[in-house]
């Protein structure tokens, strides 16, 4: 109630200051720091490019905070026109049919050209319904890659230009690194849920859940306790006991980056959007970039990895003029030069093929080695039902559960099978809860 | 004692004077609480597009959920530890400062500082100190053979939030105990001293019994503090982990409601939390107060 009153007051204050000339389009986002500045720059440039509409970006805190704020505002009928929602909130947004104005429909209604084929397949697939209609506009998408320390590799007697391709090599390299004393630990990882469970499943073409990973409807059940996931979790536990792997903490695993920067761990796995951070923090060593490793006894042809990040959702309940402005702004955002600028500045993926091509013709990837690894990894092969993405309700909570079970595994309270079985069982309860609430 | 009796003939005035307070209580306490009770009986999608009355379903689920029951006992451990630790330390500091004549003010000022630190900052501070890869404490603990890793070790994580929460509350308890000690009549102390009792004996037999109203008041305040106000500390240090080892009741309300958008269950949890605190306060006033000498 507090929140609603506060929001109402804030919204009132905002509307009172609206200039009369231009139609205002509010955009709630979750980009702080440098990313936020860049985002505001994009909005300013759009506002300067025409005089009819004014996009007003408002920073609302973290991803969950932004989503919750938008939902509370919607309930109080004070919602913004555009809200940035992270990928785990996709299931929640898609189920809220009465609250969301699907992007494909908006663009059609407003007569703006919108071609799904111009977007990168795995990015757009994550945010389309089963008929292939795009429901939200991809904005900032990333995918995990492997970062390694070339200096430590050299010290350990490894070729600094060769990154491990398979998990077997990760193990071998880590052993060499630890026994030679080049670093205290072989590798760490951010986002155990996203990188070591969700992406692991996609890359090895293993289902994360039934009904095409939840794309097929709310009746989906989790199935990420399969043999490959079990084997991987058991390995991580084994490698932790042997001192090859170090845990970076729950959720985003903040300690992973710290341990990598401090040269305590020779390798880390993290979002491609972490590239700028790695370059800025790797003052005393040369970082290398590589695709995520895979098990070559499971697959010879690893599938594409899946994305993280956020998209822009349009909320219902605004007037026609506002939606016209939203459509114009979305067309502007999808322009190759705007996309390429955002992608090159932040390390997020280029969303459209045109932006990727523009970067190529500008010579960006040649000048910045490793900056195209994420794009190559996400576009390799043909996406299968297991690698096109995930769509589950209550997924924020499910990720918490996966984190908890992983901690139980590392603490020795459960083995890999027990931990994964328990995560699936607890997760399924949340799926049923979500199904019941959205029917 | 002769008291002067003042009478107000205007019948409306008292209500008028009470109105602002009543208004605030109604808008900011009663209304949200009533909303919470209402939505604890409903199942609703986050956007509020469809609402179904489900009766006691959320409550039944909670009592079937081992995670919730664990959080309940965990919160008890947390509340008792934080209250005991912070009150004992507060009392110890107050007793020490009370004996100082000239430097007392300086110590008082210094000891009150932690209270001015925002809970989140306090949490982050302890998080830095105990960070398993960069922190100072794990480095020293390693030397005496303790491997500190609160990201994986639930007991250590609990110890960490107890320390952080208690540290924050020591100042408050210290101030009240100090004020209490200073209001102990000097004549009693002198009489006891003349009768030959030492400082320790005087503390146990005179100061402490006279402090009982303060102790009782602080006890209630501290329990309420650990129940409700420790959220930022948990959020900044352990995020409720590892494996829910530091998920207290109030943190679970946040996780399920704010992050999970499960408003029904979250409301049911807040209602239960509200009941727990009401019962505790009732018990404290009803039974503990009887033994308190004012």
Q: Are residues A270 and A408 in the same domain?
A: yes
**pLDDT beyond 70 at B72:** yes
Q: Are residues A194 and A339 in the same domain?
A: no
Among A61-65, A147-151, A399-403, B253-257, the range with the most confident prediction by mean pLDDT is A147-151
pLDDT at position B2, please? 55
Task: Give the C-alpha separation, A165 to A156, whole Å.
Answer: 18
Q: Are residues A72 and A156 in the same domain?
A: no
Task: Give the C-alpha separation, B65 to B247, whole Å.
Answer: 14
Closest approach of chain B CAs to the CA of A240, in angstroms?
Answer: 12
Is A172 in the B-facing interface, judged by CB distances under 8 Å? no
pLDDT at position B83, please? 95
Whether A383 maps to a domain, the answer reads no
**Domains of chain B by residue range:** 41-291
Residue of B nearest to A411 (CA): B152
Q: Residue A289's beta-bridge partner residues? A: A147
Contact B258 A1 (CB under 8 A): no
Whether A53 maps to a domain, the answer reads yes
**pLDDT beyond 60 at A17:** no
Q: Are residues A117 and A158 in the same domain?
A: no
Q: In chain A, what percentage of residues exceed pLDDT 90? A: 69
Q: Which residues contact A38 (CB under 8 A, 6 or more apart)?
A: A31, A342, A345, A346
Is B197 in the A-facing interface, judged by CB distances under 8 Å? no
Closest Cβ–Cβ partner in B49, B133, B264 for A264: B133
CATH number for position A83 = 3.40.190.10
Secondary structure in 3-state letters for B61-115 = HHHHCHHHHHHHHHHHHHHHHHHHHHHHHHHHHHHHHHCCCCCHHHHHHHHHHHH
- Identify the domain containing residue A43 by its residue range: 2-142+307-361
pLDDT at position B81, please? 95
Mean pLDDT of chain A: 90
Is A20 in the B-facing interface, judged by CB distances under 8 Å? no
Token pair 């992406």 in the structure block, residue = A199
Residue A96 DSSP label? -
**pLDDT beyond 70 at A14:** no
CA B262, distance to chain mean position in Å, is: 26
Q: Are residues A200 and A138 in the same domain?
A: no
Whether A165 maps to a domain, the answer reads yes
Q: Which residues contact B160 (CB under 8 A, 6 or more apart)?
A: B126, B130, B150, B237, B238, B246
Chain A environment of B154 (Cβ under 8 Å): 411
Whether A372 maps to a domain, the answer reads no
Residue A349 DSSP label? P
Mean pLDDT of the region A344-361: 90
Return the SS3 of B240.
coil
Q: Which two tokens stand for residue A105?
A: 């429909």
Read off the pLDDT of residues B258-277 as tens digits, 9 standing for 90 and up: 888 888 899 999 999 989 88
Q: Residue A149's beta-bridge partner residues? A: A287
Task: Give the C-alpha separation, A424 to A368, whole Å.
Answer: 41
Contact A123, A141 (CB under 8 A): yes
pLDDT at position A336, please? 93
Could you report how far apart the first and last alpha carbons of chain A are, in Å?
26
Q: Which residues contact B198 (CB under 8 A, 6 or more apart)?
A: none
Number of Cβ atoms within 10 Å of the Cβ of A11: 17
Q: Where are the alpha helices (DSSP H) in chain B?
A: 12-25, 31-39, 57-64, 66-98, 104-116, 119-130, 136-143, 154-182, 186-194, 199-202, 208-210, 212-224, 231-237, 249-254, 263-283, 289-291
Q: Are residues A34 and A118 in the same domain?
A: yes
Q: In chain A, what percentage of residues exceed pLDDT 70? A: 95
Whether A108 maps to a domain, the answer reads yes
Q: Are residues A297 and A331 in the same domain?
A: no
Task: Give the C-alpha separation, A235 to B26, whole Å.
Answer: 57
Could you report how far apart the first and last alpha carbons of chain B are, in Å?
19
Whether A115 maps to a domain, the answer reads yes
Return the SS3 of A272.
helix
Q: Where are the alpha helices (DSSP H) in A250-369?
A: 254-261, 275-281, 320-333, 336-346, 353-361, 364-367
Residue of higher predicted confidence among A314 and B9: A314
Read off the pLDDT of residues A387-426 as tens digits, 9 standing for 90 and up: 988 999 889 889 989 999 999 999 999 999 999 999 999 9
Read off the pLDDT of residues A201-224 as tens digits, 9 standing for 90 and up: 999 999 999 999 998 889 999 999
Q: Are residues A418 and A354 in the same domain?
A: no
Closest Cβ–Cβ partner in A99, A396, A436 for B47: A99
Chain B environment of A97 (Cβ under 8 Å): 49
pLDDT category of residue A171 using cuts at 50, 70 and 90:
very high
Whether A192 maps to a domain, the answer reads yes
Task: Give the C-alpha separation, A263 to A159, whole Å.
Answer: 17
Q: Are residues A209 and A240 in the same domain?
A: yes
**pLDDT beyond 60 at B109:** yes
CATH number of B41-291: 1.10.3720.10
Read off the pLDDT of residues B22-55 as tens digits, 9 standing for 90 and up: 999 999 999 999 999 999 999 888 888 888 899 8
Is B51 in the A-facing interface, judged by CB distances under 8 Å? no
Whether A45 maps to a domain, the answer reads yes
pLDDT category of residue B221 using cuts at 50, 70 and 90:
confident
pTM of structure? 0.83
Among A130-134, A140-144, B128-132, the range with the most confident prediction by mean pLDDT is A140-144
Number of domains into which chain A is organized: 2
Q: Cis ω on the peptide bond leading into residue A248 (within 30° of 0)?
A: no
List, edge to edge, every strand of the sheet that includes A137-142.
Answer: A53-59, A23-29, A82-86, A308-314, A137-142
Read off the pLDDT of residues B142-200 as tens digits, 9 standing for 90 and up: 889 888 888 888 899 999 999 999 999 999 999 999 999 988 888 888 898 898 888 88
Residue of B nearest to A72 (CA): B47
Q: Are residues A130 and A213 in the same domain?
A: no
Is A438 in the B-facing interface, judged by CB distances under 8 Å? yes
B179 CB-side CA count, 13 A: 10
Burial tier of B198 (Cβ tally within 10 Å: 0-12, 13-18, 19+): exposed
**pLDDT beyond 60 at B224:** yes
Q: Residue A201: in which H helix or E strand, if any?
A: helix A200-203
Closest Cβ–Cβ partner in A71, A403, A433 for B46: A71
Contact B256 A95 (CB under 8 A): no
Mean pLDDT of chain B: 87
Mean pLDDT of the region B9-25: 89
Q: Which residues contact B114 (CB under 8 A, 6 or more apart)?
A: B122, B167, B168, B170, B171
**pLDDT beyond 50 at A265:** yes
pLDDT at position A19, please? 45
Chosen from A61, A85, A189, A407 to mutate, greatest number of chain B CBs within 10 A: A407
Chain A environment of B43 (Cβ under 8 Å): 436-437
Q: Are residues A292 and A214 in the same domain?
A: yes
Chain A environment of B261 (Cβ under 8 Å): 67-68, 71, 92, 394, 396
Closest approach of chain B CAs to the CA of A292, in angstroms?
Answer: 24
Task: Give the C-alpha separation, B143 to B191, whole Å.
Answer: 51
């Amino acid at each position: 109630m507090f929140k609603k009153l506060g929001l109402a007051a804030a919204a009132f204050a905002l509307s009172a200051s609206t200039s009369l000339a231009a139609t205002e389009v509010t955009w709630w986002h979750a980009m702080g720091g440098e990313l936020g500045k860049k985002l505001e720059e994009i909005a300013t440039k759009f506002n300067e490019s025409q005089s009819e509409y004014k996009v007003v970006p408002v920073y609302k805190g973290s991803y969950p905070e932004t989503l919750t704020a938008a939902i509370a505002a919607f309930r109080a009928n004070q919602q913004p026109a555009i809200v940035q929602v992270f990928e785990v909130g996709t299931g929640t947004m898609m189920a809220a049919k009465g609250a969301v104005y699907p992007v494909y429909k908006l663009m059609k209604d407003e007569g703006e050209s919108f071609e799904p084929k111009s977007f990168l397949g795995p990015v757009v697939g994550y945010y389309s319904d089963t008929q292939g209609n795009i429901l939200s506009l991809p904005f900032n998408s990333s995918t995990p890659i492997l970062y390694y320390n070339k200096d430590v590799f050299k010290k350990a007697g490894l070729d600094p230009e060769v990154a491990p391709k398979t998990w077997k090599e990760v193990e071998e390299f880590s052993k060499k690194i630890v026994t030679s004393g080049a670093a205290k630990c072989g590798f760490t990882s951010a986002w155990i849920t996203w990188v070591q469970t969700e992406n692991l499943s996609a890359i090895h073409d293993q289902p994360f859940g039934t009904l095409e990973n939840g794309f097929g409807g709310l009746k989906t059940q989790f199935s990420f306790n399969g043999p490959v996931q079990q084997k991987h979790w058991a390995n991580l536990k084994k490698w932790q006991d042997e001192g090859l792997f170090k845990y970076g903490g729950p959720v985003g695993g903040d300690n992973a980056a710290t341990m990598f920067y401090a040269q305590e761990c020779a390798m880390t796995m993290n979002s491609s959007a972490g590239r700028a951070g790695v370059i800025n923090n790797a003052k005393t060593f040369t970082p290398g970039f590589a695709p995520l490793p895979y098990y070559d006894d499971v697959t010879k042809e690893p599938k594409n990895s899946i994305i993280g990040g956020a998209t822009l959702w349009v909320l219902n309940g605004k007037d026609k003029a506002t939606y016209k402005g939203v459509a114009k702004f979305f067309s502007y955002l999808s322009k190759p030069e705007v996309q390429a600028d955002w992608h090159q500045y932040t390390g997020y993926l280029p969303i459209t093929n045109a932006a990727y091509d523009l970067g190529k013709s500008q010579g960006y990837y040649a000048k910045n080695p490793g900056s195209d690894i994420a794009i190559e990894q996400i576009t390799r092969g043909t996406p299968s039902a297991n690698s096109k993405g995930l769509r589950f309700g209550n997924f924020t909570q499910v990720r918490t559960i996966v984190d908890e079970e992983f901690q139980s595994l590392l603490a020795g309270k459960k083995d890999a099978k027990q931990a994964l079985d328990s995560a699936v069982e607890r997760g399924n309860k949340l799926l049923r809860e979500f199904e019941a609430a959205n029917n | 004692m002769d008291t002067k009796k003042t009478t107000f003939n205007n019948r409306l005035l008292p209500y008028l004077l009470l109105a602002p307070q009543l208004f605030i209580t109604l808008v900011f306490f009663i209304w949200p609480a009533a909303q919470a009770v209402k939505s604890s009986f409903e199942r609703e999608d986050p956007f509020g597009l469809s609402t179904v009355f489900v009766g006691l379903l959320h409550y039944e689920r909670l009592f079937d959920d081992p995670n919730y029951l664990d959080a309940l006992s965990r919160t008890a451990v947390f509340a008792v530890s934080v209250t005991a630790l912070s009150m004992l330390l507060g009392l110890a500091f107050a007793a020490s400062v009370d004996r100082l004549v000239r430097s007392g003010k300086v110590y008082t000022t210094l000891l009150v500082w932690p209270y001015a630190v925002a809970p989140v900052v306090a949490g982050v501070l302890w998080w830095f100190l105990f960070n398993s890869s960069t922190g100072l404490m794990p480095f020293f603990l390693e030397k005496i053979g303790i491997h500190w890793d609160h990201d994986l070790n639930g007991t250590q994580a609990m110890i960490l939030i107890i320390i952080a929460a208690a540290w924050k509350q020591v100042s408050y308890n210290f101030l009240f105990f100090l004020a209490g000690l200073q209001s102990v009549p000097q004549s009693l102390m002198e009489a006891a001293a003349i009768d030959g009792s030492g400082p320790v004996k005087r503390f146990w037999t005179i100061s402490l019994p006279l402090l009982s109203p303060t102790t009782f008041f602080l006890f209630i305040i501290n329990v309420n503090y650990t129940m409700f106000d420790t959220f930022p500390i948990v959020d900044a240090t352990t995020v409720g982990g590892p494996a829910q080892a530091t998920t207290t009741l109030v943190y679970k309300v946040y996780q399920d409601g704010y992050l999970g958008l499960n408003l029904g269950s979250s409301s049911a949890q807040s209602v239960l939390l509200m009941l727990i605190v009401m019962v505790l306060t009732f018990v404290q006033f009803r039974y503990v107060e009887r033994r308190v000498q004012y």
